[in-house]
Amino acid sequence: MKLATIHDGSRDGQLAVVARDLKSAHMADAIAPTLQAALDDWTFIAPQLDSLYAQLNRGEARRAFEFEPQRCMAPLPRASQWAEGAAWLHHLELLRRAQPAPSSTPSTPSSARFLDALREEPLLAQGAGDAFLGPHDDILLAHEEWGIDFGAGIAAIVDDVPMGATPDEAHGRIRLLMLVNSVSLRQLMPAELTRGFGFLQSKPATGCSPVAVTPDELGEAWRGGKVHLPLRATWNGHLAGQPDAGADMDFNFPQLIAHLCKSRRAGAGSIVGAGTVSNRDTTKGKAPPGHACIAERRALETLADGAPATPYMRFGDSIRIEMLDEAGKPVFGAIEQTVRKA
Protein backbone atom coordinates (compact mmCIF):
# COMPACT_ATOMS: atom_id res chain seq x y z
CA MET A 1 0.00 0.00 0.00
CA LYS A 2 0.91 3.64 -0.35
CA LEU A 3 0.74 6.08 2.56
CA ALA A 4 1.06 9.85 2.74
CA THR A 5 0.93 12.50 5.43
CA ILE A 6 -1.35 15.43 4.66
CA HIS A 7 -0.54 18.89 5.99
CA ASP A 8 -3.20 19.97 8.50
CA GLY A 9 -1.28 22.67 10.37
CA SER A 10 0.00 20.22 12.98
CA ARG A 11 3.60 19.09 13.33
CA ASP A 12 2.95 15.46 12.40
CA GLY A 13 0.15 15.93 9.85
CA GLN A 14 -2.63 13.40 9.16
CA LEU A 15 -2.19 9.93 7.78
CA ALA A 16 -3.82 9.17 4.41
CA VAL A 17 -3.94 6.10 2.21
CA VAL A 18 -3.12 6.86 -1.42
CA ALA A 19 -4.35 4.82 -4.41
CA ARG A 20 -1.82 2.78 -6.36
CA ASP A 21 -2.14 5.16 -9.35
CA LEU A 22 -1.53 8.18 -7.04
CA LYS A 23 -4.74 9.80 -8.33
CA SER A 24 -6.92 9.57 -5.23
CA ALA A 25 -6.49 9.35 -1.47
CA HIS A 26 -8.51 8.77 1.67
CA MET A 27 -7.85 10.07 5.17
CA ALA A 28 -6.91 7.28 7.56
CA ASP A 29 -7.65 9.19 10.75
CA ALA A 30 -10.32 6.68 11.75
CA ILE A 31 -7.57 4.03 11.80
CA ALA A 32 -4.46 5.93 12.95
CA PRO A 33 -3.98 9.69 13.27
CA THR A 34 -0.38 9.76 12.07
CA LEU A 35 2.11 7.51 10.32
CA GLN A 36 4.14 7.29 13.54
CA ALA A 37 1.02 6.05 15.35
CA ALA A 38 0.56 3.40 12.64
CA LEU A 39 4.19 2.31 12.94
CA ASP A 40 3.92 2.19 16.74
CA ASP A 41 1.31 -0.55 16.40
CA TRP A 42 1.90 -1.84 12.87
CA THR A 43 0.67 -5.42 13.29
CA PHE A 44 -2.71 -4.17 14.42
CA ILE A 45 -3.00 -1.08 12.22
CA ALA A 46 -1.53 -2.19 8.89
CA PRO A 47 -4.29 -4.71 8.00
CA GLN A 48 -6.90 -1.99 8.52
CA LEU A 49 -4.98 0.44 6.31
CA ASP A 50 -4.58 -2.30 3.74
CA SER A 51 -8.29 -2.91 3.66
CA LEU A 52 -8.94 0.81 3.07
CA TYR A 53 -6.25 0.75 0.35
CA ALA A 54 -8.05 -2.12 -1.43
CA GLN A 55 -11.35 -0.23 -1.28
CA LEU A 56 -9.69 2.91 -2.61
CA ASN A 57 -8.08 1.04 -5.52
CA ARG A 58 -11.47 -0.48 -6.41
CA GLY A 59 -12.99 3.03 -6.40
CA GLU A 60 -15.21 2.07 -3.45
CA ALA A 61 -13.77 4.23 -0.68
CA ARG A 62 -16.52 6.47 0.66
CA ARG A 63 -14.73 9.79 1.05
CA ALA A 64 -11.94 9.61 -1.48
CA PHE A 65 -10.45 12.88 -2.70
CA GLU A 66 -8.03 13.88 -5.41
CA PHE A 67 -4.44 13.25 -4.30
CA GLU A 68 -2.35 16.42 -4.48
CA PRO A 69 1.34 15.96 -3.65
CA GLN A 70 1.49 19.70 -2.94
CA ARG A 71 -0.51 19.05 0.24
CA CYS A 72 1.91 16.41 1.48
CA MET A 73 4.34 16.70 4.30
CA ALA A 74 7.12 14.15 4.49
CA PRO A 75 5.58 10.72 5.25
CA LEU A 76 7.23 11.03 8.68
CA PRO A 77 7.68 14.78 9.21
CA ARG A 78 9.81 13.99 12.24
CA ALA A 79 11.45 10.72 13.11
CA SER A 80 13.26 9.65 16.24
CA GLN A 81 16.13 8.30 14.16
CA TRP A 82 17.57 9.17 10.75
CA ALA A 83 20.69 7.24 9.88
CA GLU A 84 22.09 7.43 6.40
CA GLY A 85 24.50 4.99 4.86
CA ALA A 86 26.81 5.18 1.90
CA ALA A 87 25.80 1.89 0.31
CA TRP A 88 27.08 2.70 -3.18
CA LEU A 89 30.83 2.75 -2.64
CA HIS A 90 31.26 3.90 -6.22
CA HIS A 91 29.94 7.27 -5.08
CA LEU A 92 32.51 7.57 -2.27
CA GLU A 93 35.24 6.26 -4.54
CA LEU A 94 34.61 8.91 -7.20
CA LEU A 95 34.53 11.75 -4.69
CA ARG A 96 37.63 10.42 -3.01
CA ARG A 97 39.64 10.10 -6.20
CA ALA A 98 38.98 13.73 -7.08
CA GLN A 99 40.08 15.03 -3.66
CA PRO A 100 43.27 17.01 -3.27
CA ALA A 101 46.36 14.98 -2.31
CA PRO A 102 46.48 13.66 1.27
CA SER A 103 49.12 16.16 2.34
CA SER A 104 46.56 18.96 2.32
CA THR A 105 43.95 16.90 4.17
CA PRO A 106 45.81 15.40 7.10
CA SER A 107 42.80 13.52 8.45
CA THR A 108 42.08 11.38 5.41
CA PRO A 109 43.78 8.03 5.09
CA SER A 110 44.90 6.92 1.68
CA SER A 111 42.11 6.21 -0.77
CA ALA A 112 42.87 2.55 -1.36
CA ARG A 113 43.16 1.74 2.32
CA PHE A 114 40.04 3.74 3.14
CA LEU A 115 37.96 2.01 0.47
CA ASP A 116 39.18 -1.45 1.43
CA ALA A 117 37.96 -0.82 4.97
CA LEU A 118 34.61 0.33 3.65
CA ARG A 119 34.06 -2.92 1.78
CA GLU A 120 34.20 -4.86 5.05
CA GLU A 121 31.24 -3.23 6.72
CA PRO A 122 28.76 -0.48 5.89
CA LEU A 123 29.34 3.18 6.64
CA LEU A 124 26.41 4.94 8.25
CA ALA A 125 26.06 8.35 9.83
CA GLN A 126 23.48 9.57 12.32
CA GLY A 127 21.45 12.55 11.13
CA ALA A 128 18.74 14.78 12.53
CA GLY A 129 15.17 13.52 12.25
CA ASP A 130 13.36 16.61 13.46
CA ALA A 131 12.67 18.35 10.17
CA PHE A 132 12.04 16.24 7.09
CA LEU A 133 10.74 18.29 4.18
CA GLY A 134 7.64 17.53 2.14
CA PRO A 135 8.00 16.80 -1.59
CA HIS A 136 7.23 20.39 -2.61
CA ASP A 137 8.87 22.23 0.30
CA ASP A 138 11.55 24.74 -0.62
CA ILE A 139 15.15 24.04 0.30
CA LEU A 140 15.85 27.12 2.41
CA LEU A 141 19.51 27.99 2.87
CA ALA A 142 21.43 31.14 3.67
CA HIS A 143 24.40 30.91 1.28
CA GLU A 144 25.01 29.47 -2.19
CA GLU A 145 28.69 29.37 -1.22
CA TRP A 146 28.00 26.41 1.06
CA GLY A 147 27.95 24.25 -2.10
CA ILE A 148 24.31 23.16 -2.23
CA ASP A 149 23.97 19.69 -3.73
CA PHE A 150 20.97 17.43 -4.17
CA GLY A 151 21.29 13.70 -3.49
CA ALA A 152 18.74 11.26 -4.87
CA GLY A 153 18.34 8.19 -2.71
CA ILE A 154 16.04 5.65 -1.11
CA ALA A 155 15.25 5.20 2.56
CA ALA A 156 13.60 2.43 4.55
CA ILE A 157 11.28 3.05 7.48
CA VAL A 158 11.54 0.22 9.99
CA ASP A 159 9.51 -1.29 12.79
CA ASP A 160 11.24 -2.02 16.10
CA VAL A 161 14.51 -3.81 15.39
CA PRO A 162 16.12 -5.65 18.33
CA MET A 163 19.76 -5.16 19.22
CA GLY A 164 21.96 -7.67 17.45
CA ALA A 165 19.45 -8.38 14.67
CA THR A 166 20.89 -10.28 11.71
CA PRO A 167 20.39 -8.93 8.18
CA ASP A 168 17.68 -11.58 7.70
CA GLU A 169 15.86 -10.41 10.80
CA ALA A 170 16.31 -6.78 9.79
CA HIS A 171 14.83 -7.57 6.37
CA GLY A 172 11.58 -8.57 8.00
CA ARG A 173 11.37 -5.31 9.94
CA ILE A 174 11.33 -3.04 6.87
CA ARG A 175 7.82 -1.60 6.74
CA LEU A 176 8.03 1.17 4.14
CA LEU A 177 10.29 2.59 1.46
CA MET A 178 10.42 6.15 0.17
CA LEU A 179 12.59 8.41 -1.96
CA VAL A 180 14.73 11.09 -0.37
CA ASN A 181 16.57 14.17 -1.48
CA SER A 182 19.50 14.09 0.91
CA VAL A 183 20.83 17.62 0.52
CA SER A 184 24.52 18.16 1.22
CA LEU A 185 26.45 21.39 1.73
CA ARG A 186 29.59 20.17 0.01
CA GLN A 187 31.80 23.11 0.91
CA LEU A 188 31.11 22.55 4.62
CA MET A 189 31.93 18.83 4.46
CA PRO A 190 35.74 18.72 4.36
CA ALA A 191 36.12 20.60 7.65
CA GLU A 192 33.50 18.41 9.33
CA LEU A 193 35.14 15.24 8.04
CA THR A 194 38.46 16.41 9.44
CA ARG A 195 36.93 16.91 12.88
CA GLY A 196 35.82 13.27 12.92
CA PHE A 197 32.43 13.71 14.60
CA GLY A 198 30.43 13.18 11.38
CA PHE A 199 28.20 15.57 9.49
CA LEU A 200 26.27 18.30 11.24
CA GLN A 201 26.07 21.67 9.48
CA SER A 202 26.83 20.04 6.12
CA LYS A 203 23.61 18.00 6.20
CA PRO A 204 20.57 20.27 6.31
CA ALA A 205 16.96 19.04 6.15
CA THR A 206 16.18 16.09 3.86
CA GLY A 207 13.29 16.07 1.36
CA CYS A 208 10.92 13.10 1.00
CA SER A 209 8.64 11.67 -1.69
CA PRO A 210 4.87 12.26 -1.42
CA VAL A 211 4.21 8.64 -0.50
CA ALA A 212 5.99 5.86 1.33
CA VAL A 213 5.12 2.38 0.07
CA THR A 214 5.19 -1.11 1.51
CA PRO A 215 7.89 -3.21 -0.19
CA ASP A 216 5.27 -5.44 -1.89
CA GLU A 217 4.23 -2.42 -3.99
CA LEU A 218 7.52 -2.83 -5.85
CA GLY A 219 6.76 -6.41 -6.90
CA GLU A 220 9.76 -8.10 -8.46
CA ALA A 221 11.73 -4.86 -8.31
CA TRP A 222 12.18 -5.40 -4.53
CA ARG A 223 14.54 -8.34 -4.21
CA GLY A 224 17.68 -9.09 -2.25
CA GLY A 225 16.95 -6.11 -0.01
CA LYS A 226 17.43 -3.72 -2.93
CA VAL A 227 15.15 -1.70 -5.21
CA HIS A 228 15.89 -2.70 -8.81
CA LEU A 229 14.61 0.36 -10.66
CA PRO A 230 16.25 3.49 -12.06
CA LEU A 231 16.11 6.59 -9.88
CA ARG A 232 15.69 9.71 -12.01
CA ALA A 233 17.14 13.06 -10.91
CA THR A 234 16.22 16.06 -13.05
CA TRP A 235 18.02 19.35 -12.33
CA ASN A 236 16.43 22.50 -13.74
CA GLY A 237 14.54 20.39 -16.26
CA HIS A 238 17.58 18.45 -17.53
CA LEU A 239 18.10 14.80 -16.65
CA ALA A 240 21.15 14.65 -14.38
CA GLY A 241 21.06 10.90 -13.93
CA GLN A 242 18.99 7.77 -13.84
CA PRO A 243 21.18 5.21 -12.09
CA ASP A 244 19.71 1.79 -11.33
CA ALA A 245 19.21 1.60 -7.57
CA GLY A 246 19.59 -2.17 -7.73
CA ALA A 247 23.00 -2.06 -9.40
CA ASP A 248 26.40 -1.48 -7.76
CA MET A 249 24.81 -1.32 -4.29
CA ASP A 250 27.53 -2.76 -2.06
CA PHE A 251 25.33 -3.19 1.03
CA ASN A 252 21.62 -3.84 0.90
CA PHE A 253 19.04 -2.37 3.28
CA PRO A 254 19.01 -5.37 5.66
CA GLN A 255 22.81 -5.13 5.99
CA LEU A 256 22.64 -1.40 6.72
CA ILE A 257 19.96 -1.92 9.37
CA ALA A 258 21.79 -4.82 11.01
CA HIS A 259 24.94 -2.71 11.16
CA LEU A 260 22.98 0.09 12.85
CA CYS A 261 21.61 -2.32 15.46
CA LYS A 262 24.84 -4.02 16.53
CA SER A 263 24.96 -2.30 19.93
CA ARG A 264 21.45 -0.88 20.32
CA ARG A 265 17.88 -1.47 19.26
CA ALA A 266 16.17 0.80 16.73
CA GLY A 267 12.71 2.13 17.54
CA ALA A 268 9.70 1.89 15.24
CA GLY A 269 9.76 4.77 12.79
CA SER A 270 13.54 4.88 12.53
CA ILE A 271 14.53 5.84 8.99
CA VAL A 272 17.58 4.30 7.36
CA GLY A 273 18.78 5.88 4.13
CA ALA A 274 21.17 4.12 1.76
CA GLY A 275 22.91 7.21 0.42
CA THR A 276 23.30 8.61 -3.06
CA VAL A 277 22.60 6.04 -5.78
CA SER A 278 25.62 5.69 -8.03
CA ASN A 279 26.36 3.42 -10.98
CA ARG A 280 29.62 2.60 -12.68
CA ASP A 281 29.30 3.68 -16.31
CA THR A 282 29.51 0.40 -18.20
CA THR A 283 27.19 1.49 -21.00
CA LYS A 284 30.01 2.02 -23.50
CA GLY A 285 28.39 4.91 -25.33
CA LYS A 286 24.73 4.05 -24.83
CA ALA A 287 22.65 6.20 -22.46
CA PRO A 288 25.00 6.55 -19.44
CA PRO A 289 23.58 6.34 -15.91
CA GLY A 290 24.59 9.91 -15.13
CA HIS A 291 24.64 11.15 -11.54
CA ALA A 292 22.19 11.45 -8.68
CA CYS A 293 24.14 14.38 -7.21
CA ILE A 294 26.33 17.18 -8.54
CA ALA A 295 29.46 16.22 -6.61
CA GLU A 296 30.03 13.10 -8.74
CA ARG A 297 29.91 15.12 -11.95
CA ARG A 298 32.34 17.64 -10.49
CA ALA A 299 34.62 14.80 -9.42
CA LEU A 300 34.73 13.42 -12.98
CA GLU A 301 35.43 16.91 -14.33
CA THR A 302 38.23 17.30 -11.80
CA LEU A 303 39.74 13.96 -12.77
CA ALA A 304 39.55 14.84 -16.49
CA ASP A 305 40.45 18.52 -16.47
CA GLY A 306 41.98 19.27 -13.08
CA ALA A 307 39.03 21.34 -11.89
CA PRO A 308 35.24 21.11 -11.70
CA ALA A 309 33.21 22.98 -14.34
CA THR A 310 29.66 22.41 -13.10
CA PRO A 311 28.62 24.77 -10.30
CA TYR A 312 26.54 23.61 -7.33
CA MET A 313 22.87 24.61 -7.05
CA ARG A 314 21.94 28.27 -7.05
CA PHE A 315 18.94 30.02 -5.51
CA GLY A 316 16.01 29.36 -7.82
CA ASP A 317 17.35 26.01 -9.03
CA SER A 318 14.94 23.10 -8.99
CA ILE A 319 15.43 19.39 -8.47
CA ARG A 320 12.97 16.60 -9.35
CA ILE A 321 13.48 13.07 -8.11
CA GLU A 322 11.28 10.13 -9.04
CA MET A 323 11.25 6.42 -9.75
CA LEU A 324 9.15 4.81 -12.48
CA ASP A 325 8.18 1.16 -12.44
CA GLU A 326 8.67 -1.15 -15.40
CA ALA A 327 5.38 0.04 -16.88
CA GLY A 328 6.62 3.66 -16.66
CA LYS A 329 4.32 4.57 -13.77
CA PRO A 330 5.66 6.59 -10.82
CA VAL A 331 5.90 4.48 -7.66
CA PHE A 332 6.43 7.14 -4.99
CA GLY A 333 5.31 10.33 -6.72
CA ALA A 334 7.93 12.98 -7.34
CA ILE A 335 10.06 15.15 -5.07
CA GLU A 336 10.03 18.62 -6.65
CA GLN A 337 11.99 21.13 -4.63
CA THR A 338 13.38 24.58 -5.30
CA VAL A 339 16.38 26.13 -3.57
CA ARG A 340 15.57 29.50 -2.01
CA LYS A 341 17.51 32.00 0.05
CA ALA A 342 16.53 31.76 3.72
Interface with a second copy includes 81 (CB under 8 A)? yes
Interstrand relation of 139-141 and 335-341 (parallel, antiparallel or unpaired): parallel
Q: Taken in order 183, 185, 190, 196, is the CA torsion positive or negative?
A: negative
Contact of 199 with 189, CB cutoff 8 Å: yes
User: Is the CB of 108 or the CB of 318 nearer to a second copy?
Assistant: 108
Interface with a second copy includes 318 (CB under 8 A)? no
CB of 109 vs a second copy, minimal distance in Å:
4
User: Is the CB of 164 or the CB of 311 nearer to a second copy?
Assistant: 164
CB of 262 vs a second copy, minimal distance in Å:
5
Pick from 117, 303, 304, 309 the residue near a second copy by CB under 8 A.
117
> CA dist 216 to 2, 134, 183, 222, 255, Å?
10, 23, 28, 7, 19
Interface with a second copy includes 253 (CB under 8 A)? no
Interface with a second copy includes 119 (CB under 8 A)? no
Q: Angle formed by the axes of helices 89-97 and 294-305, to 10°?
A: 40
User: Is the CB of 56 or the CB of 272 nearer to a second copy?
Assistant: 272
CB of 30 vs a second copy, minimal distance in Å:
20
Pick from 19, 45, 46, 83 the residue near a second copy by CB under 8 A.
83
CB of 166 vs a second copy, minimal distance in Å:
13
Instruction: Name the amino acid, one letter, at 265.
Output: R
User: Is the CB of 67 or the CB of 146 nearer to a second copy?
Assistant: 146
Interface with a second copy includes 1 (CB under 8 A)? no
Pick from 23, 51, 68, 110 the residue near a second copy by CB under 8 A.
110
Positions in 17-76 near a second copy (CB under 8 A) = 40
Question: Could you tell me where the DSSP H helices lie in 178-293?
Answer: 189-195, 253-260
Q: What DSSP line would sit under 111-123, residue for residue?
A: HHHHHHHHHHS--
Interface with a second copy includes 202 (CB under 8 A)? yes
Contact of 301 with 203, CB cutoff 8 Å: no
Interface with a second copy includes 115 (CB under 8 A)? no
Burial 99-109 (b: 16+ CB within 10 A, else e): eeeeeeeeebe
Residue 134 DSSP label: P
Contact of 321 with 136, CB cutoff 8 Å: no
CB of 239 vs a second copy, minimal distance in Å:
28
For 186, counting Cβ atoms within 10 Å of its Cβ (0-12 exposed, 13-18 middle, 19+ buried), the class is: middle
User: Is the CB of 184 or the CB of 234 nearer to a second copy?
Assistant: 184
CB of 211 vs a second copy, minimal distance in Å:
21
Q: Which stretch binds a second copy (CB under 8 A): 17-25, 111-119, 229-237, 297-305?
A: 111-119
User: Is the CB of 210 or the CB of 275 nearer to a second copy?
Assistant: 275
Question: How many CA atoms, within 13 angstroms, populate the side-chain half-sphere of residue 97?
Answer: 15
User: Is the CB of 123 or the CB of 324 nearer to a second copy?
Assistant: 123
> Which is nearest to 151 in space by CA: 196, 220, 87?
87
Contact of 332 with 178, CB cutoff 8 Å: yes
Q: Please state the φ and ψ torsions of residue 237, each to the nearest 5 degrees.
A: 85, -5
Interstrand relation of 184-185 and 148-149 (parallel, antiparallel or unpaired): antiparallel
Pick from 33, 55, 118, 324 the residue near a second copy by CB under 8 A.
118
Residue 184 DSSP label: E
Q: Please state the φ and ψ torsions of residue 277, each to the nearest 5 degrees.
A: -70, 135
Interface with a second copy includes 196 (CB under 8 A)? yes
Interface with a second copy includes 166 (CB under 8 A)? no
Residues of this chain that interact with a second copy (CB under 8 A) are 11, 40, 78-81, 83, 86, 106-110, 113-114, 117-118, 123-131, 140-142, 146, 163-164, 185, 188, 193-202, 204-205, 259-260, 262-270, 342
